[in-house]
Amino acid sequence: MKKLLTLLLAAMMVLGIVGCGPKEPPVEQSEVQKIIEQAQTMTLEELAKKAIEESNGATFYGVGNSSRGKTALPLFIAYLQTIDASYTLNFEWQQPKNNKIFDQLTADSLKEVGTFAMTLIQDGNQIESKMVKTGILDAFIPKEWAEANGTTPEAYKGYLPLQTLNKIFMFNNTGEKVYNNCWDFVYEGEHGLFMDIDSEIVGKNFLYMLTHEKYSKWLKDAFDVLPVDKKAYFQPVVDEMEAEAKTLGLGENGKYALTWIKLWVESYNAQTDDGPICNILVDKSATDQFGLIVYSKLRSVQETDTVSVNNITVAAYQDGYVGIGGYGYSHYLFVTDNSPLPWTACAFIAYMTQTVDGFSAWGKDIGGYSANPLVAAGTEAERNHSKGGYVDGVNVFDAKNDRGYEWWVAEDKGELVIEDPAYCASVAFTVGSWIEMLTKYNK
C-alpha cells in the first residue's frame, strides 16, 4: 500500500510538472517603460511639472512625418512657462523624407541614450513590424486622453493617434464626366492621379485595408448598384479574382477588393506628391481628370481666372454617390525606448492630444481630425471647418466645407477606409506580395 501511494504521489508530481510546463521568464521593463507606466496615471499638469524638473535648460529633439511638430513645440514651452515662468527649452524637429524616418529611428535606437525624445510617425504596418515589435518605440496613452475616449490607458488597445488624415476622391468638373460610384474610378480608360504606393507607403496600406471584410463589403455593395453595362465590364475580373481571394485567405467579398485593387494598380497615373496633383485638378484645363489626394491640400489653392476650388468636386459630397470616398490614416505618437527626456516627451504628447492649443498646428486645416473627441469639438468650435468654404456668410467653395470625421467614416456617407496597423501587418506578406506582382508587371 505504501509503495502504491508513493507511486501515485510520484505520478501526480510528474503530471503537475508536465501540466504546468516551463514558465516564461518575466519581460523586464526598460527604464523608459517604467516611466511611461507612472506617466499613464498622471494628469497633464502633473506631467508638466515632471517635464520642468527634467528638461529645464535642455535641448529636445523630435522627429516626425509632419513638420508641424516644430510649430507645436513653442506652444508647449509657453504652456510649461505658465507653471514655471523661468522654464526654458531649446528644441530641434526633423522631418526625414522618402520614408527614411524608420532608418533614422532604428539607427538612433542602437545608442544607450538616444538623440530623439519622441516621434510623430505614420504607416501603421511598418510601425507595427519595425518599431514596436522590435522595442524601438513605446506607446504612451495619456490618462485624460483615455478618459475622454471612455476608457483607461490599461484597457485601451492600439497606438496613440494624434489625428486621422483623409485622402479623398476629387474630380475636375469642367467637363461632362461624373463619377458617382467608386467603381467609376477603375472603369475602362480611367487613370487617376495618385501618389505612387512606393513613394508613400500609406497608399499601399489603403489597398491592404480594402481586403478587410468591412471594406470589401462596401465595395461589393457599390458594385451591386452599378448600371448593367459597367457591371458586365467588371464581372470577368471579379470571377477571375475569386480563386485569388481564396488563396489569400480573404472573406466572401474579397474578390471585389482584389478586383478594385488590380484595376487601380494597373491604371493609376503615379505622381510624387499630392500638392502638384491638387494644382492640376483645380485648373479648368484638367477636364475629366480625377485624383485621390489629401483633402487639406485645398487650403493652399490660390484663386485665379483659370484656377479655382470650384473647378473640382469632392466625389463623396455628391447626392447619390455610392461607395468608398477615400481613405484615412493616422499620425501616431510614441516615446523612443531610449529617450533622453521621457517625462518631457510624455508631457508634450499629452499636451498635443488633450488641448485645443496643443493640436492647433494640425487642427487649423480641414481633413485632419483629433482622436480626442473633446479636442475635436473644441477645434471645430474655434475653426468652424464645416463652413470652411464660406466667405462673408456666403457658401462660395462648397468643396471646402468639411463634413467632419463622423460623417466621413459612416457607412452610406463618406465611407472612409481607415488604416488598422494590426490588420495591415497581418496581410503585408500575403496581399502585399500579390500587389508587388501587379506593380512588377504593370508599372
End-to-end CA distance of the chain: 81
Residue 59 lies in a domain: yes
Residue 11 lies in a domain: no
Identity at 135, one-letter amino acid code: G
Residue 16 lies in a domain: no
pLDDT at position 14: 39
Q: What are phi and psi of 55, to 5 degrees?
A: -120, 10
* CB-count exposure of residue 99 (10 Å: 0-12, 13-18, 19+): middle
Helix (H) or strand (E) holding 74: helix 69-81
Q: What are phi and psi of 410, to 5 degrees?
A: -75, 140
- Identify the residue with better confidence: 48 or 6: 48
Residue 51 lies in a domain: yes
pLDDT at position 434: 96
Count of structural domains within the chain: 2
- Per-residue pLDDT band for 198 (boundaries 50, 70, 90) equals confident
Query: Is residue 2 predicted with pLDDT exceeding 70?
Result: no
Q: Do residue 251 and residue 112 come from a single domain?
A: no
- Kindly report the length of the chain: 443
Q: How far is CA 269 from CA 124, 186, 273, 290, in A?
A: 25, 12, 12, 10
pLDDT at position 441: 58
**Residue 32 and residue 55: Cα distance in Å, rounded?**
15
Asked if residues 434 and 241 have their Cβ atoms less than 8 Å apart, the reply is: no
Q: Do residue 279 and residue 216 come from a single domain?
A: yes
Asked if residues 402 and 414 have their Cβ atoms less than 8 Å apart, the reply is: no
- The domain boundary, picked from 380, 399, 418, lies at 380
Question: pLDDT tens across 354-378, in order?
Answer: 999 999 999 999 999 999 999 999 9
Q: Do residue 368 and residue 434 come from a single domain?
A: no
pLDDT (mean) for 165-194: 97
Asked if residues 169 and 408 have their Cβ atoms less than 8 Å apart, the reply is: no
C-alpha torsion angle, residues 58, 59, 64, 66 (rounded to 10): 100
Residue 376 lies in a domain: yes
pLDDT at position 336: 98
CATH number at residue 307: 3.40.190.10
pLDDT at position 12: 40
Q: Do residue 157 and residue 58 come from a single domain?
A: yes
How, if at all, do strands 326-336 and 137-138 pair? antiparallel
Nearest-Å Rg of the Cα atoms of the chain is 25
Query: 3-state DSSP helix/strand/coil percent for the chain, to nearest 5?
Result: 50, 15, 35
**Residue 236 and residue 262: Cα distance in Å, rounded?**
13
Query: Is residue 117 predicted with pLDDT exceeding 90?
Result: yes
Question: pLDDT tens across 228-243, in order?
Answer: 999 999 999 999 999 9
Which of 352, 384, 371 shows the shortest CA–CA distance to 159?
371
Residue 241 lies in a domain: yes
pLDDT (mean) for 2-9: 39
Query: Is residue 10 predicted with pLDDT exceeding 70?
Result: no
- Per-residue pLDDT band for 99 (boundaries 50, 70, 90) equals confident
Asked if residues 210 and 328 have their Cβ atoms less than 8 Å apart, the reply is: no
Mean pLDDT over all residues of the chain? 92
pTM of this prediction?
0.89
pLDDT (mean) for 409-425: 95
Q: What percent of the chain has pLDDT over 70?
A: 93
Q: Do residue 418 and residue 284 come from a single domain?
A: yes
pLDDT at position 54: 98
Query: Is residue 9 predicted with pLDDT exceeding 60?
Result: no
- Per-residue pLDDT band for 28 (boundaries 50, 70, 90) equals confident
Q: Do residue 174 and residue 267 come from a single domain?
A: yes
Helix (H) or strand (E) holding 407: helix 405-409
Question: pLDDT tens across 203-217, in order?
Answer: 999 999 999 999 999
pLDDT at position 24: 46
Burial 407-439, CB ≥16 within 10 A → b, else e: ebbeeeebbbbbbbbebbbbbbeebbebbeebe
Q: Do residue 131 and residue 182 come from a single domain?
A: no
**Residue 135 and residue 32: Cα distance in Å, rounded?**
11
Q: Do residue 243 and residue 344 come from a single domain?
A: no
Q: Do residue 372 and residue 416 come from a single domain?
A: no
Identity at 423, one-letter amino acid code: Y
Q: Do residue 139 and residue 212 come from a single domain?
A: no
CA angle, 346 then 332 then 31, to 5°: 40
Residue 207 lies in a domain: yes
Q: Do residue 280 and residue 179 come from a single domain?
A: yes
Query: Which range of residues forms the domain containing residue 78?
Result: 37-162+330-380
Instruction: Count other C-beta atoms under 10 Å from residue 393's C-beta.
Output: 7
Question: pLDDT tens across 243-298, in order?
Answer: 999 999 999 999 999 999 999 999 999 998 999 999 999 999 999 999 999 999 99
Residue 77 lies in a domain: yes
- Per-residue pLDDT band for 442 (boundaries 50, 70, 90) equals low
Asked if residues 162 and 331 have their Cβ atoms less than 8 Å apart, the reply is: yes
For 116-151, give the DSSP string.
-SEEEE--HHHIIIIIITTTSEE----HHHHHHTTS
Residue keyed to cell 501603421: 124
pLDDT at position 201: 86
Q: Do residue 126 and residue 232 come from a single domain?
A: no
- Identify the residue with better confidence: 97 or 23: 97
**Residue 284 and residue 309: Cα distance in Å, rounded?**
10
